[in-house]
Amino acid sequence: MRLLLTLVLAAAPLTAQSVHARLEGRIPAAALPGIDSLIEQAAAENLPTEPLVQKALEGGAKGIPVPRLVNGVRHGLVHLRTARAIVSRTAPGQNAPDGDVAAVAAALARGLDPQLVERLLIGAPTPGEPPGPVLHAAADLVAHGFPADSTADLLRTAQQQGLHGARLLDVAVAASHELQREGGRTPAEALARVRAMIPNVPVAPTAYPRAVTRRVGRGS
């Protein structure tokens, strides 16, 4: 137990050092202390820190002024806390995986209502399935003007009919196609048509261009 505690206490400063090294030279020096502090808070709360590092790097690359840059990272920390609370409520007694927390935070950043997020996570028929795809599908549907309740019902039906992962994105694509069909359909009509297709919604075509770059140098 003592060894475990020692390891945990030692790991936090190591994380902070490596994050500091990634940020140094990429963001204004004046922003470093504030951002370091926010990332340390996230680590201390067992929240994923990578989304905050990415937000800081993004702000630095875009030349965002220091106060707004720090606020942007703080905003990200708020989303992560909300996300962790949602994940914890939907899976009580379990540690919230970093990936799930980050996926929920990203959905909140896309403007998805926290109640809808929670509803989708609670209703997931396959426990342990990563929530990213269903949340993206929901965010896509809401962004196209579909009501939150109908969106949740449609995706629940799709999951119950055996659609998982990226196939849920096909449901959202099919709904938006139905909405844009010539002659015009209301959101309710489009959802009804897609519901009738499930589980045989069309699969989005896979891109396979001739020239592909293998790596793009993340973390270098």
CB atoms within 10 A of CB 38: 20
- Quote the CA–CA distance of 67 and 9 in Å, as a whole number: 30
Which residue among 10, 12, 44, 61 contacts another protein (CB under 8 A)?
61
| Contacting range for another protein; rule: CB under 8 A; set: 30-38, 40-48, 69-77, 114-122 | 69-77
Closer of 69 and 96 to another protein (Cβ): 69
The residue type found at 169 is L
The verdict on 175 binding another protein (CB under 8 A) reads: no
Residues contacting residue 203 through CB under 8 Å, at least 6 positions apart: 167, 170
List the structure tokens of 122: 């609670």
The verdict on 60 binding another protein (CB under 8 A) reads: yes
CB atoms within 10 A of CB 194: 25
The verdict on 164 binding another protein (CB under 8 A) reads: no
Q: What minimum distance in Å lies between the beta carbon of 10 and another protein?
A: 26
Residues 111-140 binding another protein (CB under 8 A) are: 111, 132-133, 136, 139-140
The verdict on 217 binding another protein (CB under 8 A) reads: yes
The verdict on 215 binding another protein (CB under 8 A) reads: yes
Torsions phi, psi of 24, nearest 5?
-60, 130
The verdict on 72 binding another protein (CB under 8 A) reads: yes
Residues contacting residue 112 through CB under 8 Å, at least 6 positions apart: 135, 138, 139, 142
For the chain, the distance separating the N- and C-terminal CA atoms, rounded to the nearest angstrom, is 36
The verdict on 41 binding another protein (CB under 8 A) reads: no
**Residue given tokens 């502090």 in the structure block:** 37
The verdict on 212 binding another protein (CB under 8 A) reads: yes
Kindly list the residues in this chain that would bind another protein in the complex (CB under 8 A): 22, 26, 54-55, 57-62, 64, 68-69, 71-72, 75-76, 103, 106, 109-111, 132-133, 136, 139-140, 143, 166, 169, 204, 206-220
